[in-house]
Amino acid sequence: MDSGVIARQQRRLQLSRLQSVDVVQPLAARIFSMAAVNLEAAGGSDGRIQLRYLPLDEARELRSIVLARASGLDRASGEAPEQVIAFVPPRQLAMSLLLRTSTAGLLLLTALVLVGTVMTEGWGGIPLAFLTGGIPALIIATEFMKYFNFTIADSPDGLRLRFGLAQTQTRTVPIRRVQAIGLVEPLLWRRLGWVRVQLNVAGVGRGDDRKEETVLTPVSDRATAALIIARVLPGVDLDDLAWCSAPSRARWRSPVQWGSLAVAWTDLLFAARSGRITRRLMYVPHARTQSVRVTEGPWERPLRLASMHVDSTKGPVRITGLHLDAEFARQVAFEQADRARDARATDTGVRRSGDAVGD
């Protein structure tokens, strides 16, 4: 891409390292049917190119051409077909944001402050109630506009995500770049069977503005989440895991969540579970394990406890078996290192076999 008038700049991206090609429409650009095209390759911010602005049809055509070239197809083949597999209705999105643990807690605090202030000092505490109530309202409005009409479609080049109210975005999650996956279940969501699915994607998560690129779905029922996860981790049944729980003495280190702490593994992946109020289930394929660590904090050592960490790429999914029996944690860590080594030896690698890439 060439840019600049006074200072000319030329940048090139290697297609074999291409991670995503996104079409983004800020509100002002939507008025004039324009869009920006963001191309990203492995390497963080240095591997990102933004082309602003093109007519919407040209932006979509450019995206199709680049994706076709990156997949080794002819540029005239057009965009790969897709099939919509999930859609998040605005009503469900709004309800999920209201029922999230942090939001519900702030709203409850607002109600308590308002009632307590009115009963003791009259209406003088209303400004404080507006402050505590305004924070969750702002959070809800921001995320509602960001993930409005969230749609997930399956295509040969990965999972395509479309979302946004004021600024619409079209993203592609390449399956081969997914390093780890996590399910988040706040307390009030569990009665409704809702979960949020998050990802660690290679090359994503280095900046604060990349948070939306680690969300596979902001909320969905477990059946839909299982369908989406099956596309990312084929052949894996996340409900068929034999969990190994933390010992009962872990209650002295973590009195609230100790009963939820556990690890599990299969021939394909390692999993960790934590959280009682907000439950978190984290999964990493053995072949995507970067390193394995065992840590013993000053409060764990007297209780003969240790935490086991299976490191992945940067992102929201952190696979940690908290407060396990120390001997058990060390044994599982050594075994996980062996499983990771064997899996990497037989893994097909970053790119599927048979793919040809042009630079």
Domain annotation covers residue 1? no
Count of structural domains within the chain: 3
Q: Who has greater pLDDT, 68 or 332? A: 332
Are 236 and 158 part of one and the same domain? no
Cβ pair 298, 263 in contact under 8 A: no
Q: Using one digit for the tens of pLDDT, what is the confidence trace for 209-227? A: 455 568 999 999 999 999 9
Are 168 and 311 part of one and the same domain? no
Q: Above 60 in pLDDT, residue 352?
A: no
Are 30 and 162 part of one and the same domain? yes
Are 211 and 235 part of one and the same domain? yes
DSSP string, 165-223: SSSEEEEEE-GGGEEEEEEEEEHHHHTTTEEEEEEEETT--SSGGGGGGGEEEEEEEHH
Domain annotation covers residue 6? no
Q: Above 80 in pLDDT, residue 248?
A: yes
Q: Above 70 in pLDDT, residue 205?
A: no
Q: Above 70 in pLDDT, residue 130?
A: no
Q: Who has greater pLDDT, 332 or 1? A: 332
How does the average pLDDT of the chain come out, rounded?
83
Query: How far apart are alpha carbons 284 and 263 in whole angstroms?
Result: 12
| Range from 62-76, 293-307, 339-353 that averages highest in pLDDT | 293-307
Which domain covers residue 220, as residue numbers? 181-346
Q: Could you tell me what percent of the chain has a pLDDT over 70?
A: 81
Q: Can you tell me the mean pLDDT for 20-29?
A: 84
Are 166 and 240 part of one and the same domain? no
Domain annotation covers residue 31? yes
Are 221 and 302 part of one and the same domain? yes
Looking at residue 207, its pLDDT comes to 47
Q: Above 60 in pLDDT, residue 258?
A: yes
Are 187 and 302 part of one and the same domain? yes
Are 65 and 127 part of one and the same domain? no
The dihedral built from the CA positions of residue 277, 262, 241 and 341, taken in this order, carries a sign that is positive
DSSP secondary structure code for residue 308 in this structure: E
Q: What is the b/e burial string over 223-255, where b = at least 16 CB atoms within 10 angstroms of the residue's CB?
A: ebbbebbebbbeebebeebeebebbeebbebbe
Domain annotation covers residue 5? no
Residue 328's pLDDT band, with cuts at 50, 70 and 90, is very high
Rg (CA), the chain: 23
Are 151 and 227 part of one and the same domain? no
84: which residues sit within 8 A by CB, 6+ positions away?
151, 152, 153
Q: Who has greater pLDDT, 143 or 238? A: 143
Are 236 and 256 part of one and the same domain? yes
Looking at residue 265, its pLDDT comes to 95
Q: Last residue of some domain: 155, 173, 191?
A: 173
Per the document, the length of the chain is 359
Domain annotation covers residue 356? no
Nearest in space to 268 (alpha carbons), one of 301, 240, 291, 295? 240
Q: Above 70 in pLDDT, residue 353?
A: no
Residue 356's pLDDT band, with cuts at 50, 70 and 90, is very low
Which of 7-11, 22-26, 327-331 is predicted least confidently? 7-11
Domain annotation covers residue 3? no
Q: Could you tell me what percent of the chain has a pLDDT over 90?
A: 44
Domain annotation covers residue 355? no
Q: Using one digit for the tens of pLDDT, what is the confidence trace for 138-194? A: 888 899 999 999 999 988 878 889 999 988 888 888 888 889 999 999 999 999 999
